């Protein structure tokens, strides 16, 4: 079995690379509204739900450092989310910031719930 710290490092590198690929694929990221960050956080939350069930029910938690802490930790972007929200605030886009924070948090929570449901439906 691979060392858990090595799993986190390798998973984190892969997750960060995947996040960058999403940023490159979504043309709306940048000086406008931070859509890519929101998309990454919602997708990562859904994947977290699915993988949490898959690991607990089928695969065993020995892959959790690689997939949950590593890959999804590198893929999701709470620090980027925070910076994007603050940037909207500083630009005077208070409503935009509020909508961004609210929709990101609510959609990410719903995505975890959906991921758990999908994972339980598949593996439980």
pTM over 0.85: no
The predicted pLDDT at position 123 comes to: 80
Q: How would DSSP label each residue in 42-73?
A: HHHHHHHHHHHHHIIIII-GGGHIIIIIIIIH
* Average pLDDT of every residue of the chain: 91
To the nearest 10°, the Cα dihedral for 90, 43, 27, 74?
70
pLDDT in tens, 99-112: 999 999 999 999 99
Provide the token pair at 76.
Answer: 């999701």
Q: Which of 21-35, 51-65, 95-109 has the highest mean pLDDT?
A: 95-109
């Amino acid at each position: 079995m691979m060392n858990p710290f090595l799993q986190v490092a390798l998973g984190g590198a892969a997750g960060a690379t995947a996040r960058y690929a999403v940023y490159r694929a979504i043309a709306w990221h940048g000086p406008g509204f931070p859509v890519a960050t929101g998309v990454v956080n919602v997708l990562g939350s859904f994947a977290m739900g699915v993988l949490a069930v898959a690991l607990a029910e089928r695969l065993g938690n020995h892959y959790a450092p690689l997939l949950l802490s590593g890959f999804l930790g590198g893929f999701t972007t709470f620090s980027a989310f925070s910076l994007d929200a603050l940037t909207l605030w500083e630009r005077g886009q208070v409503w935009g910031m509020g909508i961004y924070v609210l929709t990101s948090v609510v959609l990410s929570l719903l995505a975890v719930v959906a991921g758990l449901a999908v994972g339980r439906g598949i593996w439980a």
